[in-house]
Amino acid sequence: MTLVAPSEDTARLRLRNVLQRTPLFADLDPAGVAAVEHELTLLILPGGAPLFRQGEAADAVYVVTSGCLGVFRHDEENEASEPILLAEVPPGNLVGEMSLLSRGKRTRSVAALRDSEVWRLAQSSFDALTNSHPEVLPALMRSVVARNAAAPPKRRRQPRTFAILPAGPNVPSARFAVLLAEALGRIGDRVQMLGPDSVDEEPEWFARCEMESSFVLYRADATQTPWTELCLRQADCLIAVRSAEHDAPTSLPFDVETVQSGAVFHRRRELVLLHEGHDPAAGSTAPLLAGGLYGHHHHVRLDVHADLDRLARLLTGHAVGVVMAGGGARAFTHIGAVKALREAGVPIDLVGGTSMGAIVAAGVASRWDDKELNERFRRAFVQNNPLSDYTVPLISLYSGRKVTALLRSAFGDKDIEDLVLSFYCVTANLTTSDADVHTVGKLWRWLRASVSIPGVMPPFNEAGEVHVDGGVIDNFPVRTMRRMGRGLTIGVDIDTGGALAAGADVMEPWSAWQFFRRLVWRRNETLPIPSIVAILLRSALVASTARAAQDRAAADLLIMPPMTHIDLLDWTSFDAAIELGYRATMEALEKARTLPVGTRLFLA
């Protein structure tokens, strides 16, 4: 991608203005400033280009005069992970001085977030400056101390500039851009949309647009023009937009980003699939996802404002994700929680869960309304007990065929990718001893795996690996939602304790004769010992209990309906569980209104 270099006079004028404002040079006389200017060398950095990398020798300090740089930290334990943006360096600031003072190696990587101008002061020139003008050192040390004292950002930096890239023929990108701008305007104060007529503007002009706006939309051309190249360099997030009404592979007439060996960072890439007034057909989404080139995809109907509002929240970190814990029949409480959130006007943009919580979350992701959620789960679990297909207990007590049938009936051949809301579920992978998070694949299959309680239902086998109920490892996967970094996380947890005890006079295991005699002559009385199914279910969830405190602390808003009096297998407590979830959620939302989380929650 090409970048037109500024004229020498214009760049020098910007440099002189910055030198006058930079604390390091503020105490120098005009002759000293002129001497510094003479030693500086101009570097033009296209957006995305590295200035230096972590681990390199420190040989210069840099002055930023236009554009914006980013300071990145790399995860040394996972080199494949995307680096973390620690800070932005706007014009008027130095970068690289700490490593230069210590005579060590660079401790962070720095790259251009936008087309930028920086001026390089080499080590030898820096040493000469500090020797001849020692008065600059106190100002420099104050700058270093202030930077080290600054607390790291608590929230992930969210995109503010977006490039809209039409992918494929007949894409209504102009209409989409206008509607997205309107949705962004309901989040921020001012949204600017820039088109090809801005191609000849200086980097300072684009920086001013960003400063004056909450969000900036760059509407790229359909081909690789100089304007499109500029859009790709300036944007925090690249949004490819295509029609979902045809099955041609997703492609652009240009590379989304120029391939750079050892690039410091890659911009967030999103794919928007436009639908004409309907939800995606089963199995239709996966072929459109370009083999994972885009980190996230969104189903959007242009004539539905709620879809555009959801997209705007997801793009800008204002979304609301709801996590639903597993817990057998107690998980019906999630239906009540969802009803309360909807009534209170809290949007649900992402959902995830484990075991029974995952099944309820899948219903929400399928856009089932309150009535449909209630009717479907009542029919599937109350009117038709799914745990009644006993089998020869070589692998499990039940064959699992009834559960499989009800999941296939409810979700058909739909893939997770086809769900309108972003969704994930968790299974325990016994082959790798890890909790696996599933965001792709046949929905019913991974739901079936997520509820495969060891010993109760057969495990689920996929590609030679054995999966069982996710509650064995992670029954409340809040931290998975947090890692997505899309906004607030509401966690609806279920206490899986209580309601499992033996009679006080039961000391030894019962014989078969004792069971038979009890069932024949005292069959109307509750057995004084827990059933094998209850024991297996509780055993499967014990391991997750140890991490419950950390999971709960990770939620921005935690909801815990009081449910220990309801048995994990008491499907007949359906209505009571829903009511408890509804009341607990309403109470939690009322309390949240007076807390900082409430400000973000009700403005989402």
Residue range 402-443, pLDDT digits in tens? 999 999 999 999 999 999 999 999 999 999 999 999 999 999
pLDDT at 396: 79
Average pLDDT, rounded, for the chain = 85
pLDDT at 260: 52
Residue 545 reports pLDDT greater than 80: no
Residue 80 reports pLDDT greater than 60: no
Domains observed in the chain:
8-76+85-149 (2.60.120.10), 161-254+267-316 (3.40.50.300), 319-498+530-594 (3.40.1090.10)
Q: Which residues contact 600 (CB under 8 A, 6 or more apart)?
A: 318, 487, 488, 556
> pLDDT above 90 covers what percent of the chain?
51
Q: Is 560 helix (H, G, I), strand (E, B) or coil?
A: coil
Cα separation, 320 vs 589, whole angstroms: 13
432 phi/psi in degrees, rounded to 5: -105, -10
Instruction: Give the count of beta carbons closer than 10 Å to the beta carbon of residue 153.
Output: 11
How does pLDDT run across 290-306, given as a tens digit for each residue?
A: 887 888 999 999 999 99
Are the C-beta atoms of residues 112 and 48 closer than 8 Å to each other? yes
Return the closest-CA partner of residue 476 out of 460, 504, 502, 496. 496
Provide the token pair at 349: 């943009």
Lowest mean pLDDT segment, chosen from 153-157, 265-269, 358-362, 434-438: 153-157
- pTM more than 0.75: yes
> Which parts of 25-143 are beta strand (E)?
41-45, 50-52, 60-66, 69-73, 84-89, 94-95, 109-112, 116-122
Are the C-beta atoms of residues 422 and 296 closer than 8 Å to each other? yes
Are the C-beta atoms of residues 428 and 388 closer than 8 Å to each other? no
pLDDT at 1: 47
Are the C-beta atoms of residues 384 and 401 closer than 8 Å to each other? no
**Bridge-based pairing state of the strands 465-469 and 422-429:** antiparallel
Residue 524 reports pLDDT greater than 60: no
Alpha carbon distance, N-terminus to C-terminus of the chain? 37
How does pLDDT run across 298-349, given as a tens digit for each residue?
A: 999 999 999 999 999 999 999 999 999 998 889 999 999 999 999 999 999 9
Partner residues linked to 57 by β-bridges: 105
pLDDT at 504: 47
pLDDT band at 383 (very low <50, low <70, confident <90, very high): confident
pLDDT at 17: 86
Q: Is 390 helix (H, G, I), strand (E, B) or coil?
A: strand
Cα separation, 44 vs 112, whole angstroms: 10
pLDDT at 534: 62
H or E, element range at 411: helix 401-411
Residue with tokens 């391991």: 543
Cα separation, 398 vs 456, whole angstroms: 6
Q: What mean pLDDT comes out for the span 264-288?
A: 91
pLDDT at 203: 82
Cα separation, 520 vs 529, whole angstroms: 17
CB-count burial class (<10 Å; 0-12, 13-18, 19+) for 148: exposed
Residue 148 reports pLDDT greater than 70: no
Return the closest-CA partner of residue 67 out of 117, 17, 135, 21. 117
Cα separation, 98 vs 100, whole angstroms: 5
Cα separation, 200 vs 149, whole angstroms: 40
Which region holds residue 38: left if phi is over 0, alpha if psi is between -120 and 50, else beta?
alpha
Task: Name the DSSP class of 58.
Answer: P
Return the closest-CA partner of residue 420 out of 264, 252, 292, 300. 300
pLDDT at 424: 98
H or E, element range at 424: strand 422-429
Rounded to the nearest angstrom, the gap between the alpha carbon of residue 120 and the centroid of all alpha carbons in its chain is 37
* The residue count for the chain: 604
pLDDT band at 539 (very low <50, low <70, confident <90, very high): low
Q: What mean pLDDT comes out for the span 380-396?
A: 82
User: Does 208 or 502 have the greater pLDDT score?
Assistant: 208
pLDDT at 519: 52
Task: Name the DSSP class of 133.
Answer: -
> pLDDT above 70 covers what percent of the chain?
84
Measured CA to CA in angstroms, residue 524 lies from 64, 519, 521, 529 at distances of 82, 8, 9, 15
Residue with tokens 């973000």: 600
pLDDT at 292: 78
Provide the token pair at 261: 């060996």
Cα separation, 124 vs 134, whole angstroms: 15
How does pLDDT run across 547-600, given as a tens digit for each residue?
A: 778 889 999 999 999 988 888 778 889 999 999 999 999 999 999 988 888 777
pLDDT at 531: 60
